[in-house]
Structure 1
Amino acid sequence: MSQPIKMKPRLVDKIEYWLPKVVMSPTVFLTMVFIYGFIIWTTVLSFTKSRILPVYDFVGFQQYVKLFLNDRWMLALKNLAIFGILFIVICLFVGLLLAILLDQKIRAEGFIRTVYLYPMALSFIVTGTVWKWLLNPTVGIERFVQSLGFESFSFDWLVNPDMAIYTIVIAGVWQSSGFVMALFLAGLRGVDNSIIKAAQIDGASMVTIYSRIIIPSLRPVFFSAIIMLAHIAIKSFDLIVALTGGGPGNSTDVPAIFMYQFSFTRSQMGVGAASAVVMLMGIIAILVPFLYSELRATKNV
């Protein structure tokens, strides 16, 4: 019995096979070098006694010990916890509320959605600068309300060390809640209408439908929103620099500002690299459990 003749791949087939690889290879190479390569390099520097310039004299976990014995670093972690928790929770609440309101097919929905989304188009530098003016006691909201006749009104959070961190929460929520709204609105529009109609036939109110049927079905949207908001919170730098500059004093210091200043202005590159690695571990610590739970839930479906 004769064997089938194997035909050589045509030139077109070879081009179709190799062209995507050739086109993507520079991007993959640059990503490996400038993202993962520098992550590895930063991790290596965190185990050295580098100061102004990299020095590859390894000192073990000495820089990490020095980092967590630094009072300013502990304050930065505390501020990040306050900002991160409030920022994520309020953005989720406001974004979900706005999405539910827009899901009622109100008039001018497109215009209102655009208005809510517009702040996300601005950079954090612009947002910080605008809110720095609005919250300035001498020219902003406080001055405006006092000019209306309420002489005793006071809103000095921007210059109050105990309250300054909450001004960052206000600015961050203002910019990001519209984006979260868009995520939830897309999720709401993907819910099967037949389920909602069946619940309405059974006499369920809209509050019950949203709380027991629709919102629980938005778990993947919650997952995506939390991951993105946590990422924004952990790497927050430009918003805080523009709004408070880390002050008054160090009252709004966060790990990103700590890392920048210790690496490039205080000539303690080893400590700065250690803080950067801790920030990366923080992101991984948030991402991995959520990914595990999501993949496990998908597998059980």
Structure 2
Amino acid sequence: MVTTRSWRERLVAAVPFVVLAPSLVASFVYVFVFTVWTLYISLSNSTLLPTYGFVGLDNYEALWANRRWNVAYTNLFLFSGLYILGSMAVGLMLAILIDQKIRAEAVWRTFFLYPLAVSFIVTGTVWSWLYNPAVGVEALVRSFGWTDFSFAFTTDRDTAIWAIIITGIWQASGFAMALFLAGLRSIDGDIIKAAQIDGASAFRTYRRVILPTIAPIFLAVAVVQIQFAIKTFDLVVALTRGGPGIATTFPAIYVYDMMFQRGKIGEGAAAAIMMLSAVAVVLVPYSLWMVWRRRRMASHG
């Protein structure tokens, strides 16, 4: 017997689709349509305004022939590697310390998570004051009589990139700590007790039992952090504005400069596509691995 649903039942069933449709359409347009449009612009002869004369890979050739872009891409890999490893190392250390059931744990968690609540532009501005030789740490220490002390990281071509790396690690360590702490708290206590009964030291317990158990969290933290690293813009602008010279230029700054300052939309679009490629190199394998892992877990019950 075929039952006919009432209009109210149909309306209730359609509500989720109606609610989700605008965001899904907007996401599709924002991600896929604009990505395809940017790709085509990167293959065109666009300058101040978009045009659609096809020039092939000329913009990409000009991009990689530009010394500033090569410096920007080198800075991206240097920053990404040290930023991710540094924030994960500091975050893991803080998570292990807090996991020792210390006093005022909630206060310490709030203290270490606070940088995560601050935007990169605010972080960069505050740290730029600390690095400033006239009003920052250098001026403070010299006022105590140590006249040879130097802390002007952002004014030196060789040290400016390190100032950005240190500041980025300070900003992101709280995020890594939160995820690692959640992973540590999710481990079955019986496993740790069994290792202790077997005579394993605290260091050996962490190295052989605890850290391998939370290994997927390391990957998740690394994937999220590398997305932040690739899109780094406001932190660099607030700290160094890409200087001194081009020493701390990053791809996002290069894209902005080409598109909105120099009127080279085609080359700027090519740089944006290269940034997208860097993100895809990370996200696509990670997504495939997650799908494979879920299917494997489902097949094993």
TM over 0.5, yes or no?
yes
Structural mapping, 1:1-301, within 5 Å: 5-300=1-296
1:11: how far off? 3.2
| 1:174-211 Cα distance to aligned partner (Å, 9 max, x none) | 11101110010011111111111111111111111111
CA distance in 2 between counterparts of 1:52 and 1:206 reads 62
Q: Distance in 2 between matches of 1:298 and 1:92?
A: 25
Which residue identity does 2:265 align to in structure 1?
M
- Measure the CA separation in 1 of the matches of 2:292 and 2:28: 29
**Sequence identity (%):** 46
CA 1:29–1:293 in 2, change beyond 3 Å: closer, same or farther? Answer: closer
How many angstroms apart in 2 are the aligned matches of 1:91 and 1:16? 46
Secondary structure at the counterpart of residue 7 of structure 1: coil
1:291 to partner: Cα distance? 3.3
Q: How many residues align?
A: 297
Cα-to-partner distance string for 1:224-248 (whole Å, 9 max, x where unaligned): 1111110111000001001101111
- Kindly state the Cα deviation for residue 135 of structure 1 after the two structures are TM-superposed: 0.6
Give the letter for the 1:14 counterpart: R
- Give a deviation string over 1:213-263, Cα, whole Å, max 9, x none: 111111221111111110111000001001101111111000000000001
Give structure 1 stretches of 5+ with no counterpart. Answer: none
Instruction: Return the letter of the residue paired with 2:57.
Output: F
The separation in 1 between residues aligned to 2:220 and 2:189, in whole angstroms, is 23
**For residues 46 and 176 of structure 1, do their structure 2 counterparts lie closer, same or farther at Cα, with a shift above 3 Å needed?**
same
User: C-alpha distance in 2, partners of 1:119/1:60?
Assistant: 44
Q: Give ranges in structure 2 of 5+ residues lacking alignment.
A: none
Superposed CA offset, 1:27-62 (max 9, x none): 111111223221111111011010000110111111
Farther-moved stretch of structure 1 (6-15 vs 245-254): 6-15
After superposition, the C-alpha distances for 1:139-183 in whole angstroms (9 at most, x for unaligned) are: 111111222232221122110011101111111111110111001
**Structure 1 residue 295 displacement after superposition:** 4.2
